[in-house]
Structure 1
Amino acid sequence: MKFEMLGASWQQLQRQVARLTRRDDAEDLLHSSYLRMAEKADRAVARPEAFLVRSAVNQARDDFRRSRHPAAPQAMDLQTLQVCDRSPLQDEMLIARQRLARVKEGLDRLSPRSREIFLMHRLDGLKYREIAEHLGISMSAVEKHVAKAMQSLSEWTEGW
Structure 2
Amino acid sequence: MESSIGQTIKRLQRALQRRGVSREDSEDLIQEAYQRLEIYRRDKPVDHAEGFLVRTAINLSIDAVRKRRRANHADEPIESHIIVDESPLPDEVYASRRRLDRLNEGFAALDPITRQMIRAQRMEGLSVAAIAAQHRLSMSAVEKRLAKGILFLVNWMEGW
Q: State the TM bucket, normalised to the shorter chain.
A: 0.5 to 0.7
Tell me which residue corresponds to 2:22.
18
**What corresponds to 1:5 in structure 2?**
none
Task: Show the counterpart of 2:122.
Answer: 122
Aligned structure 1 segments of 4 or more residues deviating by more than 6 angstroms: 75-79
Ranges in structure 2 where 5+ consecutive residues have no aligned partner = 1-13, 27-71
Larger radius of gyration: 2
Identity of aligned residues (%): 40
Gaps of 5+ in 1: 1-10, 24-74
The corresponding residue for 2:153 is 153
Give the C-alpha shift of residue 85 in structure 1.
2.1
Deviation, 1:84, is 2.2
Secondary structure at the aligned position of 2:83 is classed as coil
Counterpart of 1:33?
A: none
Size of the aligned set, in residue pairs, is 101
Cα RMSD, aligned residues only: 3.3
Other-structure match for 1:91: 91
Query: Greater share of helix residues, 1 or 2?
Result: 2
| Secondary structure at 1:88 match in 2 | coil
Pick closer, same or farther for the CA change 1:76–1:112 going to 2, 3 Å.
farther
1:111 pairs with 2:115: no
Give a deviation string over 1:79-109, Cα, whole Å, max 9, x none. Answer: 9324322221110100000100111111111
TM-score (norm 2): 0.52
SS at match of 1:117: helix
